[in-house]
Structure 1
């Protein structure tokens, strides 16, 4: 994490294409580490044994860490990172909510038509 932060610091503001490419990759990589950390935090439910959590995150919640990841993906996208752009879209809370609403409607329709058994 410190190396990624240093790469971002050294390349900001970007004045060349190479610096922009480094920024895109560094933000994307840091976003991926933060996303994995937030997922691990949720799976651990209360365990605070990760080095990244203790050293870098300073007691932040899994939701706060996920938002940090999303911010890094947005920055990576801004500097031309395709993967960062895809991850930013995937993590969009409106998209998640819409997907959940559609899933619930489909399950309800399948239950009403008899394809799925009624809820227990």
Structure 2
């Protein structure tokens, strides 16, 4: 093999390596984009007919976000979290994928979580997370 062939082969290998690294760096960011909006670890997944409510906990803080079951159609998506003894914090928006996350400090109190997408909805009982 002459030096030109070696250069071409090593350039091709380098290009494949760079593309692999770029894909590896891009994929986790897109997969975790939704999860990063709520801090902590996921403690509950609450499915219903038109969506799912994901509940996260970090220390005494509880965060919830509602996701549409079939993203793409713009619908009203809402979520609320209520710590026992306090008012519910509710957020809603018209969107194609998810609600705005709701974060509340619950300490060691039970919480009630609700979520809705279009005409479907979910309402939990009191949960101690």
Task: Tell me, yes or no, whether TM beats 0.5.
Answer: no
TM-score of the superposed pair, with normalisation by structure 1: 0.23
The structure carrying a bigger helix percent of its residues is 1
TM-score (norm. length: structure 2): 0.22
Q: Which has the higher contact order (CA 8 A, sep 6+)?
A: 1
* Structure whose CA Rg is larger: 2
